[in-house]
Structure 1
């Protein structure tokens, strides 16, 4: 067996049986260490002081006594405050399992003499802990559920307490031999464990499998009699109070659960008897919960780093493509020289010229595109400038290529370290390192986005006062804002952006203004996010069809709108340039 053993109805039955020692005990203190953990400190004459844990999380719902003290928040939640008001100082009158379901009912006489019901529904994602008044209405719950979430069963203060829907299945502990064997014979199921789960209340997968294992090992020639014997043997322990709790491990020795009875379907070498069910459960969950949290955090961090690595590699491929453009500089320079050599053949107004390329071997006639509004000399100078621009750009991109390559290598190393990490402390150290480098999604200005409720969002004014400003997210998680017309560009620069935000615009051309909000930390914005924003600016300009576009970027504080200037028209200083391929 390798899968985790969940807290099922048989485990709850065993736990409830052993909790009877707390009857008539006094609830001395109530604490709520976390959203889904409730701890009752009880003093009972038959036991002494006990710390009773009830957990209603989706994955780890359970109840048992604990020895470990759990840290409490500085301010108790509303649920905890309500419990303290009504039942702290009260006396436990009964502790019971509701039929054979995963529902715990605890009746408590409050300090004023009224009797309250504390019910714990330990049922996966529907798990909850609810305090019910003597009149049967809900006083408070760990999870409040409105009609928007569940139209059939609201769990809100003031509402009548309605139990979970009854599935109509019988309690297996009340079934007689005749009833069981007649029912089984008429059903003749091919899947005996499945039949058990479908026919009886509270039969979990692990319990159905155990009954099936016991039936195959029973010394009965009659299969129906063997199955009844196995079925009855499991529930006999509850009637006779002869539980034998065990801790169960997988073949690698990792603890995978605790159960109130030895499992015949699991090798004895993988099971260890525990002194009581509480010890077995506390030991298992003290290992399993931190391990599950660690594995979830590890998966999350690995996923974010893999995404960052993919982004770096994508940017690196684009930069490499730009570096390869350097070869075109020689071509532009050669065309310029051919124009100057053939000035007598070219007139202003031509859009192309057929020239003999004497650099070719053998020489051949080529077609050179011209700007009709320029003289031949100006066309040649334009090509020389383009050659210098391509060379300079290639040199800058070569430096960026090395930087991106080093970052990709660093992320690869960090991924290996995360895969080899052994605890959450190591993970947090690596996460901090990755965040500092700007490699994690959500480290930018959008990290706190999405926290508003639907109600508050509905009450907010239209985004950007209705101006046509697009909000995008870079692969690293940074928000990027783009104006879609002159009015939006002006509003973005004058009203939305802050002095230390990055501002980008295609050089010497018409196009959208692009802003990267930095929360006053422009140095934290990774180069790849700047590249992404530059590609957006290029794609939303008249140069969008060019193979390579120059985009200037500077801090917003160096951008100003001249007095009397048209909306969207600005001047700027302290700029740097990125040559990018427009984003598709």
Structure 2
């Protein structure tokens, strides 16, 4: 659900104790819409994320590492100038509003202490992050609004900041008496209870309004007039629980995938949706948004070469379809050779100008006759030569097309493997290595600017520890797969890969001994999870000592052949990677 005012209040209560009184050590902007504050708090260091993404606006404590761009954006530099080293004095929320304010004590050019405010407006498409000076003037915004100063609320540097106007006609439910609530419900008639709550009160999301209606009436679309007193009682109890901090970070899971978050269990969906409690709101939001944000970052930052990859793959598929059609046409070559032989055998009774030769087919076991089309403009010898030429051409075409199709299949497999690596990329460095691979294989041009050609340190493979303590390494892309398998792994370590499914190379470091069955099983599960088969069941994973794995000369990155292997069928486990992470 979007972070409504009540959910925001619950998150801020948890966050306040960790950040208030702390000092801002570092400020990063990992993506266009995110600011990450590294804070030395009273309870130890922590990281505070402020996301101004319209679809994922929030403020939270986060434990997830985020990769920073090589060059910090201008807004990040501005925040460093005004807020770095500052002390957080307060974290507050205007009543029933989706706003969070950080009050920070910084210093000006003269060294004097001055208060500043960093405000997150988590309001859908108008979500913004705004820095104010000590006089409530706007220093700058993540998104400036109001080139036309006649609009209702311009947001430009130098202007005085004003809170957004409250939604017209909506009331603060905390100040409403039961009598006033009853009067509103009487005037609403047969309006569904959830729609009534959304239309009349501030701070409620559609999910929360439906849940209150479900608690009061046993269904989400019941009319408010059925029992307004019961609905009011449940709303008042909810507000009291939030005020007293009696909230539970809850992840809603449907068919194994997270679908929503809340600050309390949600029952309206019945047994189809599970409410899982989390220890903290920070852990809840990390878990819910991690996969979505990773996919979004990859889509944005890898968009240029993803387009190139997809176009190359589409061209290759079209080319292979034409080659397969041409190969099918070569199936008639034996008929052409037979026609040439029969014409040659009947030259003595043929004359130029004939259109059809009716001859005995001595290739037919039953001795029947056959009609052979002729070109009347050519002599009998020339007609025979024409059929022999077609036969020779088709025979050569078959050999060449078969070879080209084999190359095409390998090329398509390689492109699919790169697309799989892109889908598993976790940051700029992963994408940069994939870009470098595509440059080396000729799909992308080398960057012209010197600063764009600067080499970054190569990323390391993903590292895990089996239950028995054995190290497990997982390649992030084809270049890493090659390094792991052909350079780093010893010949008695174990290599694992999904069978006929694109995925990562996995190395189980056996340390010169036969690994235990549990470690092999866990390594196989990781191989299945870091592959295109992660959504399947009973995924086949081949495993063998590295000495049986070879890279053919001239093969594309990540392509190997292997022998003397065994196959395990495992179910990908989304929690195993977290449990075994080194």
TM range (shorter): 0.5 to 0.7
* TM-superposed deviation, 1:138: 3.6
1:396 is matched with which residue: 391, 395, 400?
400
TM-aligned CA distance change 1:523 to 1:201, over 3 Å = same
Question: Is the 1:356–1:363 contact (alpha carbons within 8 Å) kept by the matching residues of 2?
Answer: no
The residue that corresponds to 2:374 in the other structure is 368
How many residue pairs get aligned? The number is 425
Question: Is the 1:30–1:38 contact (alpha carbons within 8 Å) kept by the matching residues of 2?
Answer: no
Question: Within 2, Cα distance between the matches of 1:24 and 1:432?
Answer: 40
* TM-superposed deviation, 1:339: 6.8
2:64 is aligned with 1:61 = no
Question: Is the 1:26–1:89 contact (alpha carbons within 8 Å) kept by the matching residues of 2?
Answer: no
Matches within 5 A, 1:127-526: 127-134=127-134, 138-143=138-143, 157=157, 166-168=166-168, 169-216=170-217, 223-239=227-243, 241-248=244-251, 250=253, 259-263=262-266, 280-292=280-292, 317-333=321-337, 353-360=354-361, 363=369, 367-369=373-375, 380-401=384-405, 444-445=443-444
Question: Within 1, Cα distance between the matches of 2:371 and 2:79?
Answer: 93
Question: Is the 1:93–1:109 contact (alpha carbons within 8 Å) kept by the matching residues of 2?
Answer: yes
1:38 is matched with which residue: 14, 35, 38?
35
Question: Is the 1:140–1:157 contact (alpha carbons within 8 Å) kept by the matching residues of 2?
Answer: yes
Question: Within 1, Cα distance between the matches of 2:268 and 2:337?
Answer: 81
Question: Is the 2:250–2:264 contact (alpha carbons within 8 Å) kept by the matching residues of 1?
Answer: no
Provide Cα deviations, 1:203-222, integer angstroms capped at 9, x if missing partner: 1122112322332379x997
* TM-superposed deviation, 1:38: 2.4
Question: Is the 1:25–1:42 contact (alpha carbons within 8 Å) kept by the matching residues of 2?
Answer: no
Question: Within 2, Cα distance between the matches of 1:368 and 1:37?
Answer: 76
Instruction: Give the CA RMSD over aligned residues.
Output: 5.5
Question: Within 2, Cα distance between the matches of 1:24 and 1:401?
Answer: 65
Question: Within 2, Cα distance between the matches of 1:160 and 1:359?
Answer: 102
The residue that corresponds to 1:487 in the other structure is none
Question: Within 1, Cα distance between the matches of 2:297 and 2:16?
Answer: 39
Question: Within 2, Cα distance between the matches of 1:245 and 1:235?
Answer: 14
Question: Is the 2:295–2:423 contact (alpha carbons within 8 Å) kept by the matching residues of 1?
Answer: no
The residue that corresponds to 1:507 in the other structure is none
The residue that corresponds to 1:78 in the other structure is 74
Question: Is the 1:31–1:72 contact (alpha carbons within 8 Å) kept by the matching residues of 2?
Answer: no
Question: Within 2, Cα distance between the matches of 1:362 and 1:101?
Answer: 93
Secondary structure at 1:358 match in 2? strand
Question: Is the 2:145–2:155 contact (alpha carbons within 8 Å) kept by the matching residues of 1?
Answer: yes
Provide Cα deviations, 1:189-235, integer angstroms capped at 9, x if missing partner: 442112222332331122112322332379x9971110111111111
Question: Is the 2:62–2:286 contact (alpha carbons within 8 Å) kept by the matching residues of 1?
Answer: no
Question: Within 1, Cα distance between the matches of 2:67 and 2:556?
Answer: 35
* TM-superposed deviation, 1:167: 3.2
Question: Is the 1:106–1:117 contact (alpha carbons within 8 Å) kept by the matching residues of 2?
Answer: yes
Provide Cα deviations, 1:332-379, integer angstroms capped at 9, x if missing partner: 4566567775599756xxxx6324331457546655235x5x776556
Question: Is the 1:30–1:83 contact (alpha carbons within 8 Å) kept by the matching residues of 2?
Answer: no
TM-aligned CA distance change 1:343 to 1:132, over 3 Å = farther
Secondary structure at 2:393 match in 1? helix
The residue that corresponds to 2:576 in the other structure is none
The residue that corresponds to 1:25 in the other structure is 21
Provide Cα deviations, 1:227-264, integer angstroms capped at 9, x if missing partner: 1111111112344x343333345377876665444556
Question: Within 2, Cα distance between the matches of 1:287 and 1:377?
Answer: 79
2:13 is aligned with 1:14 = no
* TM-superposed deviation, 1:131: 1.2
TM-aligned CA distance change 1:391 to 1:311, over 3 Å = same
TM-aligned CA distance change 1:332 to 1:297, over 3 Å = farther
Secondary structure at 1:325 match in 2? helix
2:120 is aligned with 1:116 = no
What TM-score do the two structures reach when normalised by structure 1?
0.56
The residue that corresponds to 2:98 in the other structure is 102
The residue that corresponds to 1:554 in the other structure is none
Moved more, 33-42 or 398-407: 398-407
Question: Within 1, Cα distance between the matches of 2:340 and 2:254?
Answer: 76
Question: Is the 2:136–2:160 contact (alpha carbons within 8 Å) kept by the matching residues of 1?
Answer: yes
Moved more, 303-312 or 251-260: 303-312
* TM-superposed deviation, 1:181: 1.5
* TM-superposed deviation, 1:9: 1.7
Question: Is the 2:91–2:103 contact (alpha carbons within 8 Å) kept by the matching residues of 1?
Answer: yes
TM-aligned CA distance change 1:40 to 1:355, over 3 Å = closer
Question: Within 2, Cα distance between the matches of 1:124 and 1:78?
Answer: 24
TM-aligned CA distance change 1:247 to 1:110, over 3 Å = same
Provide Cα deviations, 1:430-464, integer angstroms capped at 9, x if missing partner: 9999997x9x9x98248999xxxxxxxxxxxxxxx
Provide Cα deviations, 1:108-133, integer angstroms capped at 9, x if missing partner: 45423554332102234543212134
Question: Within 2, Cα distance between the matches of 1:48 and 1:433?
Answer: 37
Question: Is the 1:332–1:387 contact (alpha carbons within 8 Å) kept by the matching residues of 2?
Answer: yes
Unaligned runs of 5+ in 1: 450-521, 526-584
TM-aligned CA distance change 1:145 to 1:333, over 3 Å = farther
* TM-superposed deviation, 1:187: 0.7
Question: Is the 1:170–1:201 contact (alpha carbons within 8 Å) kept by the matching residues of 2?
Answer: yes
TM-aligned CA distance change 1:318 to 1:265, over 3 Å = closer
Question: Is the 1:8–1:204 contact (alpha carbons within 8 Å) kept by the matching residues of 2?
Answer: yes
